[in-house]
């Protein structure tokens, strides 16, 4: 591999004391370093992802793990009009030896890439570290860019403090699990890091946020409540679906904070900050019925509404008592990856066996009967052997969604188009590669509009999908969203909702979705917000 810069192989120098002495670090094989140095300091950056503030859990969790072992500042691109104007003077202060950035695929890259390049150009002695789903799944493109020294793969609670300590002490990071870096142009992977014990996790340092903005700005108003807090109470997922970006990071591993502590955290946020709604962003909040029950028992009557993500086949095995208790305890809506109503597709994406089309339909009605709204996401456009079969599958999936809406109209439906993720060794990945699909090799390509659209699951550039297919899916989506406007956009009001529904009726019933310009104009005028890209419609507090 040819790269212009090989960060970990080249000694990286950074200040370790305010008096400006420095130590060589990052040199493969370096063992002995000078005596332990003062705290190195890390600036953590959350690039822009959404228009309203939300608690940046990815960084708060690693900041909690670092504790007071080092000086930390956190800059949130969601709340700063010009993040560089905040970052630059902080770095110039000389307090920091490290720059850490969290990166999801998609628009977050648009800030992550130029800001990290700027850090490299203006502060070449700083060690730059990326973590999160994008670098974990595409480390090569990240490291080859020359502006990122280390990728922390998967959970950073253990790896980051160990990396900082090693570099400060002049030790090689090679024995620290969970890292990816370059040495002599070769990618070095240090192996899987153990997942943290979440019951031992210290309280999240919200004061890092409060230094720059009042906490209420991170607690927006949503359909769930006046102050919505995002919480992450487990890591990973015990399943291995072939299309899912979580799998390469966690490989079927899952750890959770106990129900008692989660309930305690929720009530603490309610009492301290007036939180009345929680969005659990866990990949799979509902893995254990016992944990969910224990949590719900503690939340009953506490005036907090909540939302989380789960699997249909898991929750379908929950007892009626548990589902009723969940509702009583404030559960309002659950997001499920339904993916497809077609059992053959479910098997192809390794979601079959336990979940079936019939179950998807039956469970929507069951959950609604308990007063909890199912939010089903479907993934259209999986690879099939021929173009005709791809079309046939798209029509079948659309037909299934219509059947679902007819049976249980209150079910929320979200549509995505399949964008491959590097789930090595799966039949789905092999099929994608055989069809000619390749990921880009550079960050410049990843930030291009075409690949951003891929990341957003809007127009994924997969060889088996024609532009006409993508258009057809989007046209159907526009008509469906007008016919059944999401409950999560509370700004719409009854009148707006009825207007959109009436306008969509002829197209929905006739099945003629082509070019629904009038509905697009209406949706734009009403600023109708779907949750696919930025989460629920939210208003700042």
**Which of 132, 173, 236, 420 is in the footprint of ligand B12 by CB under 6 A?**
132
Q: Could you tell me the smallest distance in angstroms from the CB atom of residue 396 to ligand B12?
A: 23
* Binding flag, residue 173, ligand SF4 (CB under 6 A): no
Query: β-strands 234-236, 254-256: how paired?
Result: antiparallel
List of E strands, 56-211: 72-76, 98-102, 127-131, 150-152, 179-183, 186-189
User: Between 48 and 376, whose beta carbon lies closer to ligand SF4?
Assistant: 376
Which region among 22-30, 353-361, 425-433, 452-460 touches ligand B12 (by CB under 6 A)?
452-460
**Which of 14, 84, 96, 133 is in the footprint of ligand B12 by CB under 6 A?**
133
* Binding flag, residue 241, ligand SF4 (CB under 6 A): yes
The 8-class DSSP code of residue 222 comes to B
**Which of 78, 359, 411, 486 is in the footprint of ligand B12 by CB under 6 A?**
78
User: Between 244 and 469, whose beta carbon lies closer to ligand SF4?
Assistant: 244
> Terminal CA-to-CA distance of the chain, rounded, Å?
49
**Which of 52, 283, 314, 529 is in the footprint of ligand B12 by CB under 6 A?**
283
Residue 201 contacts which entry, ligand B12, ligand SF4, none (Cβ below 5-8 A, type-dependent):
none
Question: Which two structure tokens, joined as six digits, stand for 280?
Answer: 């659990």
Q: Could you tell me the smallest distance in angstroms from the CB atom of residue 123 to ligand SF4?
A: 37
Query: β-strands 186-189, 179-183: how paired?
Result: antiparallel
The answer to whether the CB of 220 falls within 8 A of the CB of 228 is: yes
Helices (H), strands (E): how many in the chain?
A: 22, 17
Q: Which of 493, 537, 446 is nearest to 103 (CA)?
A: 446
Give bridge partners of residue 373 from the DSSP assignment: 333
- 487 Cβ neighbours under 8 A, 6+ residues apart: 223, 333, 373, 410, 412
* Binding flag, residue 247, ligand SF4 (CB under 6 A): yes
Cα–Cα dist 434/438, whole Å = 10
**Which of 46, 281, 284, 523 is in the footprint of ligand SF4 by CB under 6 A?**
284
The answer to whether the CB of 142 falls within 8 A of the CB of 120 is: no
Cα–Cα dist 466/418, whole Å = 13
What are the C-alpha distances in Å from 166 to residues 31, 98, 158, 216? 9, 13, 12, 37
User: Between 393 and 423, whose beta carbon lies closer to ligand B12?
Assistant: 423
Residues of this chain, 292-311, that bind ligand SF4 according to CB under 6 A: 311
User: Between 270 and 351, whose beta carbon lies closer to ligand SF4?
Assistant: 351
User: How many residues are given for the chain?
Assistant: 541
The answer to whether the CB of 413 falls within 8 A of the CB of 484 is: yes
The answer to whether the CB of 279 falls within 8 A of the CB of 307 is: yes
Residue 356 contacts which entry, ligand SF4, ligand B12, none (Cβ below 5-8 A, type-dependent):
none
Cα–Cα dist 96/504, whole Å = 55
* Binding flag, residue 379, ligand SF4 (CB under 6 A): no
User: Between 162 and 325, whose beta carbon lies closer to ligand B12?
Assistant: 162
| Residue 29 burial (CB count, 10 A) | 7
Place of tokens 């866990």: 282
Q: What is the largest distance, in Å, between two alpha-carbon atoms of the chain?
A: 76
- 454 Cβ neighbours under 8 A, 6+ residues apart: 419, 460, 461
User: Between 344 and 445, whose beta carbon lies closer to ligand SF4?
Assistant: 344
**Which of 245, 312, 334, 503 is in the footprint of ligand B12 by CB under 6 A?**
245
Size of the site for ligand SF4 (CB under 6 A): 11
Which region among 240-248, 449-457, 476-484, 514-522 touches ligand SF4 (by CB under 6 A)?
240-248
Size of the site for ligand B12 (CB under 6 A): 43
Q: Could you tell me the smallest distance in angstroms from the CB atom of residue 340 to ligand SF4?
A: 12
* Binding flag, residue 256, ligand SF4 (CB under 6 A): no
* Binding flag, residue 108, ligand B12 (CB under 6 A): yes
The answer to whether the CB of 422 falls within 8 A of the CB of 137 is: yes
**Which of 144, 145, 159, 283 is in the footprint of ligand SF4 by CB under 6 A?**
283
* Binding flag, residue 334, ligand SF4 (CB under 6 A): no
C-alpha angle 372/246/393, rounded to 5°? 70
**Which of 8, 9, 23, 54 is in the footprint of ligand B12 by CB under 6 A?**
54
Q: Could you tell me the smallest distance in angstroms from the CB atom of residue 226 to ligand B12?
A: 19
Residue 239 contacts which entry, ligand B12, ligand SF4, none (Cβ below 5-8 A, type-dependent):
ligand SF4
What 3-state DSSP class applies to 447? coil
| Residue 530 burial (CB count, 10 A) | 18
* Binding flag, residue 242, ligand SF4 (CB under 6 A): no
Residues of this chain, 412-431, that bind ligand B12 according to CB under 6 A: 421
Residues of this chain, 144-183, that bind ligand B12 according to CB under 6 A: 152, 155-157, 160
* Binding flag, residue 337, ligand SF4 (CB under 6 A): yes
Residue 311 contacts which entry, ligand B12, ligand SF4, none (Cβ below 5-8 A, type-dependent):
ligand SF4
Cα–Cα dist 259/515, whole Å = 48
Gyration radius of the chain over CA positions: 24
* Binding flag, residue 61, ligand B12 (CB under 6 A): yes
User: Between 108 and 411, whose beta carbon lies closer to ligand B12?
Assistant: 108
Cα–Cα dist 249/465, whole Å = 27
Residue ranges that bind ligand B12, judged by CB under 6 A: 46, 49-50, 54, 56-58, 61-62, 78, 100-102, 104-108, 129, 131-134, 137, 152, 155-157, 160, 232, 245-246, 281-283, 421, 455-457, 532-535
Residue ranges that bind ligand SF4, judged by CB under 6 A: 237, 239-241, 244, 246-247, 283-284, 311, 337
């Amino acid at each position: 591999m040819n790269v212009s810069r090989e960060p970990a192989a080249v000694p990286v120098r950074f200040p370790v004391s305010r008096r400006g002495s420095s130590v060589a670090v990052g040199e493969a094989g370096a063992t002995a370093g000078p005596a332990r140095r003062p705290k190195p300091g890390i600036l953590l950056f959350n690039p822009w992802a959404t228009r309203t503030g939300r608690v940046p859990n990815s960084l708060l969790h690693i900041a909690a793990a670092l504790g007071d072992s080092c000086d930390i500042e956190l800059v949130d691109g969601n709340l700063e009009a010009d993040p560089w104007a905040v970052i630059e003077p902080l770095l110039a202060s000389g307090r920091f030896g490290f720059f850490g950035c969290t990166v999801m695929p998609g628009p977050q890259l648009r800030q992550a890439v130029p800001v990290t390049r700027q850090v490299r150009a203006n502060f070449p002695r700083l060690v730059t570290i990326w973590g999160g789903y994008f670098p974990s799944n595409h480390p090569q493109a990240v490291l080859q860019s020359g502006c990122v020294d280390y990728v922390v793969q998967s959970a950073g609670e253990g790896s980051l403090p160990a990396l900082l300590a090693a570099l400060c002490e002049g030790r090689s990071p090679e024995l620290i699990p969970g890292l990816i870096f370059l040495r002599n142009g070769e990618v070095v992977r240090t192996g899987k890091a153990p997942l943290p014990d979440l019951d031992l996790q210290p309280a999240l340092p919200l004061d890092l946020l409060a230094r720059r903005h009042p906490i209420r700005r991170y607690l927006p108003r949503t359909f769930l409540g006046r102050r919505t807090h995002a919480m992450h109470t487990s890591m990973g997922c015990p399943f291995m679906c072939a299309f899912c970006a979580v799998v390469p990071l966690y490989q079927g591993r899952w750890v959770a904070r106990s129900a008692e502590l989660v309930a305690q955290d929720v009530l603490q946020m309610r009492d301290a900050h007036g939180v009345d709604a929680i969005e659990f962003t866990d990949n799979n909040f509902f893995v254990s019925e016992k944990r969910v029950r224990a949590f719900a028992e503690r939340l009953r009557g506490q005036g907090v509404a909540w939302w989380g993500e789960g699997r249909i086949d898991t929750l379908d095995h929950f007892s009626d008592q548990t589902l009723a208790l969940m509702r009583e305890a404030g559960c309002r809506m659950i997001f499920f990856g339904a993916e497809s109503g077609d059992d053959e597709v479910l098997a192809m994406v390794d979601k079959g066996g336990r979940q079936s089309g019939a179950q998807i339909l039956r469970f929507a009605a069951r959950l609604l009967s308990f007063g909890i709204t199912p939010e089903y996401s479907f993934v259209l456009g999986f690879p099939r052997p021929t173009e005709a079969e791809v079309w046939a599958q798209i029509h079948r999936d659309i037909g299934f969604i219509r059947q679902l809406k007819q049976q249980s109209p209150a079910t929320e439906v979200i549509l995505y188009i399949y964008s491959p993720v590097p789930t090595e060794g799966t039949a789905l990945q092999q099929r994608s590669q055989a069809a000619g699909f390749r990921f880009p090799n550079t960050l410049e390509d990843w930030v291009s509009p075409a690949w951003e659209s891929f990341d957003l699951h809007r127009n994924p550039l997969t060889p088996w999908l024609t532009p006409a297919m993508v258009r057809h899916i989007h046209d159907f989506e526009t008509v469906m969203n007008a016919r059944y406007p999401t409950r999560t956009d509370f700004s719409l009001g009854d009148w707006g909702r009825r207007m959109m529904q009436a306008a969509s009726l002829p197209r929905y019933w006739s099945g003629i979705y082509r070019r629904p310009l009038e509905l697009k104009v209406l949706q734009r005028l009403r600023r109708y917000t779907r949750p696919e890209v930025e989460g629920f419609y939210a208003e700042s507090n």
